[in-house]
């Protein structure tokens, strides 16, 4: 491990507590002024905290642990020999083999959701799955992503269950990853692919884009988020976008965190729908539509 990660291990004694920007310099509208920087908890500790809270809120009559645990993360665990997915599997006592999805940035959650849907369709034993996103960025890795955004630390989790209600039902999810070789080694958000994936998700769900109640984009460049929504014919006035300068972009945990904050501020009724879309920085794209079922 030391041989493989020798350069990475050098960031252990360092702490990146400073704001992304010097307060004396003008700020780009694309970049948050400050980002959330976790000073104490490890990535797996943040994941464990949100997991315990998710399970506490979701306890059903059977009180059983989730069958499957999937961790989404792009950043490194401080202890490179520690598996966050393995830790959660041990703490929860889940049955399925835990695994992690990385290097898709904000699209990781959408791939996890797609995999859970496919696994539930093919395995009747799989009654529930826990999806956890967690990120903690430490030197020498930069928090800035070109002019798109700045990366914050955080974790979020969701329990996906079969035939649960009242709850948000998954109508459709689509993930696109570019073929090899990657079109460009530079930071790249493929707007055309995003628009296409959003359109396909709506079509396969049998919906017109105007039938979406809330559009939840990632916490990236606000102008880019608005342009993608407009080009996809989504109602821009229904785009839910909190203050982008407060915590930064949570990458693999971003879609889950955005969904959580939205659900704290709305009182859904039967049939209302949420469309979430996410992007990676090498042309990846993901989109999911959820519909509220009150009974």
**Which superfamily does CATH assign the domain made up of 167-293 to?**
Thiolase/Chalcone synthase (3.40.47.10)
pTM: 0.89
Which range has the worst mean pLDDT, 53-62, 156-165, 265-274? Answer: 53-62
Residue-level pLDDT at 10: 65
Q: Across the beta sheet with 68-72, what order do the strands follow?
A: 99-101, 68-72, 128-135, 154-161
Measure Cα distances from 61 to 58, 64, 65, 103, 164 in Å. Answer: 10, 8, 12, 37, 12
Please tell me what DSSP assigns to residue 249. Answer: B
Of residues 140 and 57, the one with the higher pLDDT is: 57
CATH of 8-161, one of 3.10.110.10, 3.40.50.300, 3.40.47.10, 1.10.3470.10: 3.40.47.10
Give the model's confidence band at 103: pLDDT under 50 very low, under 70 low, under 90 confident, else very high: confident
Q: What pLDDT score was predicted for residue 222? A: 84
Helix and strand totals (H; E) in the chain: 6, 10
* Residue range 181-206: mean pLDDT, rounded: 86
What was the pLDDT predicted at 128? Answer: 92
The tokens of 132 are what? 């956890």
| CA-CA-CA-CA torsion sign (289, 270, 268, 159) | negative
Query: What is the average pLDDT value for the chain, to the nearest integer?
Result: 86
State the span(s) of the chain assigned CATH 3.40.47.10: 8-161, 167-293
Q: What is the reported pLDDT for 77?
A: 86
Task: Report the half-sphere exposure of 164 (CA within 13 A, side-chain side).
Answer: 16
pLDDT tops 50 at residue 155: yes
pLDDT reported for residue 21: 44
- Per-residue pLDDT for 251 more than 70? yes
User: What does each C-alpha distance from 142 to 38, 104, 152, 184, 238 come to in angstroms?
Assistant: 15, 17, 11, 19, 33
Average the pLDDT over 86-101 and give the result.
Answer: 93
Confidence of residue 71 (pLDDT cuts 50, 70, 90): very high
Q: How far apart are CA 272 and CA 268, in angstroms?
A: 6
Q: Give the pLDDT of residue 41.
A: 93
Residue 158 corresponds to which tokens in the numbers above? 């969701």
Does pLDDT of 241 surpass 50? yes
Q: What's the pLDDT score for residue 231?
A: 95
244 pLDDT exceeds 70? no
Q: Which helix (H) or strand (E) holds 115?
A: helix 108-122
Q: How confident is the model at residue 62 (pLDDT cuts 50, 70, 90)?
A: low
User: Cα dihedral sign for 220, 223, 229, 235?
Assistant: positive
Residue 88, CB half-sphere, CA atoms under 13 Å: how many?
35
* pLDDT per residue as tens digits for the range 118-136: 999 999 889 999 999 999 9
Alpha-carbon distances, residue 202 vs 114, 167, 211, 270 (angstroms)? 15, 20, 9, 18
Q: Report the alpha-carbon distance of residue 272 to residue 122 in Å, rounded.
A: 28
DSSP 3-state percent helix, strand, coil across the chain (nearest 5): 30, 20, 50
Would the CA dihedral through 151, 52, 257, 175 be positive or negative?
Answer: positive
Q: How confident is the model at residue 268 (pLDDT cuts 50, 70, 90)?
A: very high
User: Terminus-to-terminus CA distance in the chain, angstroms?
Assistant: 51
> Which residue would you say has higher pLDDT here, 115 or 102?
115
The whole-angstrom separation of Cα 203 and Cα 289 is 11
Q: Which of 5-19, 65-79, 240-254 is the least confident region? A: 5-19
Structure tokens at 6: 């020798």
């Amino acid at each position: 491990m030391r041989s493989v990660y020798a350069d990475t291990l050098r960031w252990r004694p360092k702490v990146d507590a400073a704001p992304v920007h010097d307060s004396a310099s003008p700020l780009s509208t694309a970049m948050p002024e400050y980002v959330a920087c976790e000073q104490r908890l490890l990535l797996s500790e943040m994941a464990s905290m949100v997991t315990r809270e998710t399970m506490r809120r979701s306890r059903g009559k059977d009180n059983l642990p989730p069958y499957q645990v999937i961790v989404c993360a792009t950043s490194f665990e401080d202890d490179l020999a520690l598996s966050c997915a393995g830790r959660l599997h041990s703490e929860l006592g889940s049955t399925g083999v835990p695994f992690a999805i990385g290097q898709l940035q904000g699209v990781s959650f959408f791939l996890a959701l797609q995999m859970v849907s496919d696994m539930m369709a093919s395995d009747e034993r799989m009654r529930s799955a826990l999806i956890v996103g967690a990120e903690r960025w430490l030197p020498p890795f930069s928090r800035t992503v070109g002019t798109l955004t700045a990366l914050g630390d955080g974790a979020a989790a969701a329990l996906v269950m079969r035939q649960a209600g009242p709850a948000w039902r998954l109508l459709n999810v689509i993930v696109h990853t570019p073929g090899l070789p990657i079109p460009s080694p530079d930071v790249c958000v493929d707007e055309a692919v995003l628009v296409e994936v959003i359109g396909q998700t709506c079509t396969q769900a049998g919906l017109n884009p105007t039938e979406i109640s809330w559009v939840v984009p990632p916490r990236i460049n606000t102008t880019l988020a608005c342009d993608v929504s407009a080009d996809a014919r989504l109602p821009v006035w229904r785009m839910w976008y909190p203050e982008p300068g407060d915590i930064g972009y949570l990458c693999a945990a971003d879609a889950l965190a955005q969904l959580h904050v939205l659900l704290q501020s709305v009182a859904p009724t039967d049939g209302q729908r949420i469309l979430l879309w996410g992007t990676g920085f090498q042309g990846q794209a993901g989109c999911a539509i959820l519909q509220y079922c009150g009974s």
